[in-house]
Amino acid sequence: MQIWSGWNRRLQPVEIRAAETLTDERRPEGVASFYSGGVDSSYTVLKHIGDPRLATPSHLILVHGFDYDRRNLALRELVRDRIAKVAAGFGVGLVEAETNLRELTDPFVFWGTLQYAPLQLGIGLAMSGEFWRIITSSGISYPMLIPFGGHPGVDPLWSTEATEIVHEGAEASRVEKVAWQVARSDVALSGLRVCYMNPGGAYNCGRCVKCQRTLAALQLAGALDRCPTFDGALPDPELIAAADLVDDQMRDQVREFIATLKADGRYPELETAFEASLSRRSRRARLHEPLSALRVLRNRHAPSLRL
């Protein structure tokens, strides 16, 4: 609470009172890793499976209702079917959870900055009777760290006597995660899912900013033709150049892509497109940036001010 209230002055620590405190003596045997099918969670699982020094997950946790509408039953079944096959390919079990939390909280709180890890790890701790370690995947690399809902300095603090929470993967950028692990695994590629738009119930739309960035990373890694979940979509310089980069995190990730493309030298058209997206300040971005700055000032200095 001290860390979060330091990041956002609108948040205040609350006093917790209990008639007595109990020690959780359970010592479960399983290790679980949250898994959506995305680049971050795929990297984490592959890293742990491939390194004997790390605890190999016994189960993946798939949460329906986090990054797609759980009420879209056709998409839900498609996601479940593909992730179940990935779990079987990894030789681990699959645990499914479902939540309507985002339907309740999205109108009031932004998913990335406040909701993500507390909601995810709350689900994990509800399974603490089965797992002594629960792994959550980093969405931001160490050089790009910002106050965020999932953070390596905060997530482990959710640990209990019986269950350790581990924040994994901040040592690698999104491009590096694809090159180092994801592109080398046909199992991970068979279920790779990054889209949050899902038009018409699509597993990956192939056109949104996340899909296009992932397609570019797969092309750089030489794995695009082995990934079946984009239905033949290719990195499109026009779509990349037109992307709205409305916050610092998105811009930092694009800078990582530009640096990698520049060093690689094979795809100057993609490098030019990412540079164009970085320099392009769309109307949405122009409106977002000053409001974002005002919110930062408000959070630090005037918590009662409403914006």
| Residue 245 vs residues 40, 236, 291: alpha-carbon distances, Å | 20, 16, 15
Q: Are 139 and 177 within 8 A, CB to CB?
A: no
**Rounded Cα–Cα distance for residues 177 and 185 (Å):** 12
16 belongs to a structural domain: no
Same domain? For 115 and 208 the reply is no
User: Considering 122, 150, 168, which residue would you say is the last residue of a domain?
Assistant: 168
Q: What is the CATH number of the domain that holds 139?
A: 3.40.50
Same domain? For 42 and 96 the reply is yes
Same domain? For 48 and 116 the reply is yes
280 — pLDDT class (breaks 50, 70, 90):
confident
State the burial class of residue 231 (Cβ atoms within 10 Å of its Cβ: 0-12, 13-18, 19+).
Answer: exposed
Best mean pLDDT range from 45-59, 247-261, 273-287:
45-59
Same domain? For 151 and 75 the reply is yes
Torsion of CA 208, 209, 211, 213, to 10 degrees: 160
User: Considering 127, 153, 168, which residue would you say is the last residue of a domain?
Assistant: 168
**Total-model pTM:** 0.88
286 — pLDDT class (breaks 50, 70, 90):
low
pLDDT of residue 118: 87
Q: What is the mean pLDDT of the chain?
A: 88
Same domain? For 219 and 148 the reply is no
pLDDT digits (tens, 9 = 90+) for 221-269: 999 999 999 999 999 999 999 998 877 778 888 999 999 999 999 999 9
Best mean pLDDT range from 133-137, 148-152, 279-283:
133-137
User: Considering 118, 152, 168, which residue would you say is the last residue of a domain?
Assistant: 168
pLDDT of residue 29: 87
Kindly report which listed range (44-48, 56-60, 103-107, 108-112) carries the lowest average pLDDT score: 108-112
72 belongs to a structural domain: yes
pLDDT of residue 302: 44
20 belongs to a structural domain: no
More confident residue, 115 or 85: 85
Same domain? For 163 and 210 the reply is no
Task: Please state the domain count of the chain.
Answer: 2
More confident residue, 130 or 293: 130
Mean pLDDT for 208-215 is 95
* Residue 43 predicted with pLDDT over 70: yes
pLDDT digits (tens, 9 = 90+) for 159-181: 998 899 999 999 999 999 999 99
More confident residue, 110 or 122: 122
173 belongs to a structural domain: no
- Domain with 247, as residue range(s), is 197-301
Mean pLDDT for 28-41 is 96
92 — pLDDT class (breaks 50, 70, 90):
very high
Give kind and range of the element (H or E) at residue 98.
strand 93-98
Same domain? For 140 and 234 the reply is no
**Rounded Cα–Cα distance for residues 151 and 136 (Å):** 10
